[in-house]
Structure formats: structure tokens, C-alpha cells
């Protein structure tokens, strides 16, 4: 018989699973993060984990989704204080928020992880054009110095291109990636700047 948890306990266990999963994935990578270890860290049985997440894949997706929400919440809090941002302020914030290898799971993701997720996670969870465009609206709607009538699909592809490069960094000159990303960000800046 599965353990009975109050709603508060369920929420606390789920939150701790996400926290520990994020820590372990950033430390060990996605493939080397084990459900049995996470369950033990949180004080539940391995089987009980599946009452909170249907699979490891869904846990990974939730960790990534939570990280993205936290970054957008931080941006919206910054906006609520400032009202608007210049394009330079937006790009400075974006680079500090998303290009931190200690916080961004994309830096630990491999091409093998991506293939595994693509095979097991519904495509609308992996690639959600509507969600991507909503995020871009949030980032650009209160930013000054932006061109009108931008193609948000083009903008959404820039970070994806960088993510794919990171996932396949073993096939690239890793020492040059930082400069490659700087040039990609410069191209994005030129694309959106009025």
C-alpha cells in the first residue's frame, strides 16, 4: 500500500525532489542522476517517486520548466521596479540569467540526453512555439529600442541554436564556444535593435 501524505507533505516532497534533481543533474548530468538516489535523499522509496512524477523524463522536463519560470519571474520583478528596460539592459540581464553553467541544465545536457527526451516526451512539451513566443513577448514588450514587426520564431531559434551547440560540444572546439556564443548574441542584438 502506498504511503499516505497530506497535501502539504506532497507539495513539500515534490518541491524537494525538484530541488535535489536539479542539484544532481547540474553536478552529474542527466543520465547519471538516478531516481533511487533522489528518492533516498528526499526520504521516500523509489516506487513512491512515481506518485509525484510519471517518469524521470517528466522530472527532467519539470526541472527545466521550473528553472525557466524562476528566471522569468525574476525578470518580471525587475520590470515591476523599473517599468521598462533598454535593449542593452535586457541583453545584459539575459546573458547573466541564461549563460550560467552552474545554474542552467542546458550546459549539462548531451546530444544523447536530447535524443532520449525526444523519444519519450511528447513533442509539445519539448518544443512549444506558443510558449516560446509568450516568453519573447514578456522579454520584449517593455523593452525600448526594439524593432517593430520582429519574427519571434527567428528570435526563439537563437537560444536553441546555442543549446544544440552545447549538447554537441564534444564535436566542436570547446575553447571557441564562448566566442561563438558572443557572436550569436551580437547577431541577435543586431536583429532586434531598432
Query: Is residue 1's pLDDT more than 60?
Result: no
Tell me, what's the pLDDT at 11?
Answer: 93
Give the cell for residue 75. Answer: 525578470
Tell me, what's the pLDDT at 57?
Answer: 92
Tell me, what's the pLDDT at 56?
Answer: 93
Mean pLDDT of 23-27: 92
Tell me, what's the pLDDT at 94?
Answer: 85
Domain boundaries, the chain: 1-53, 56-192
Query: Is residue 93's pLDDT more than 80?
Result: yes
With beta carbons less than 8 A apart as the criterion, state whether 44 and 3 touch: yes
pLDDT tens sequence across 107-136: 788 888 888 888 888 888 777 888 888 889
Mean pLDDT of 31-50: 94
For residue 166, which of 178, 152, 154, 153 has the smallest C-alpha distance?
178
CA distances to 30, 77, 93, 135 from 36, rounded to whole Å, are: 14, 37, 37, 34
> Phi and psi for 86 in degrees, rounded to 5?
-80, 165
Helical (H) or strand (E) element with 92: helix 87-98
Q: Which region among 30-34, 90-94, 101-105, 115-119 has the lowest average model confidence (pLDDT)?
A: 101-105
Homologous superfamily, domain 1-53: Homeodomain-like (1.10.10.60)
Give the cell for residue 94. Answer: 539575459
Tell me, what's the pLDDT at 4?
Answer: 81
Amino acid at each position: 500500500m502506498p504511503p499516505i501524505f497530506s497535501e502539504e507533505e506532497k507539495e513539500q516532497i515534490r518541491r524537494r525532489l525538484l530541488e535535489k534533481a536539479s542539484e544532481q543533474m547540474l553536478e552529474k548530468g542527466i543520465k547519471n542522476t538516478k531516481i533511487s538516489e533522489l528518492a533516498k535523499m528526499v526520504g521516500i522509496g523509489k516506487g513512491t517517486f512515481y506518485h509525484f512524477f510519471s517518469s524521470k523524463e517528466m522530472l527532467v522536463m519539470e526541472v527545466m520548466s521550473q528553472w525557466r519560470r524562476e528566471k522569468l519571474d525574476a525578470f518580471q520583478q525587475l520590470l515591476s521596479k523599473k517599468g521598462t528596460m533598454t535593449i542593452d539592459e535586457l541583453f545584459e540581464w539575459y546573458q547573466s540569467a541564461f549563460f550560467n553553467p552552474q545554474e542552467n541544465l542546458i550546459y549539462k545536457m548531451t546530444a544523447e540526453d536530447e535524443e532520449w527526451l525526444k523519444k519519450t516526451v511528447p513533442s509539445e512539451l519539448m518544443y512549444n512555439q506558443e510558449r516560446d513566443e509568450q516568453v519573447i513577448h514578456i522579454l520584449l514588450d517593455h523593452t525600448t529600442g526594439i524593432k517593430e514587426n520582429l519574427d519571434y520564431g527567428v528570435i526563439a531559434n537563437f537560444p536553441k541554436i546555442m543549446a544544440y551547440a552545447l549538447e554537441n560540444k564534444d564535436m566542436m572546439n570547446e575553447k571557441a564556444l564562448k566566442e561563438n556564443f558572443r557572436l550569436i548574441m551580437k547577431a541577435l542584438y543586431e536583429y532586434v535593435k531598432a
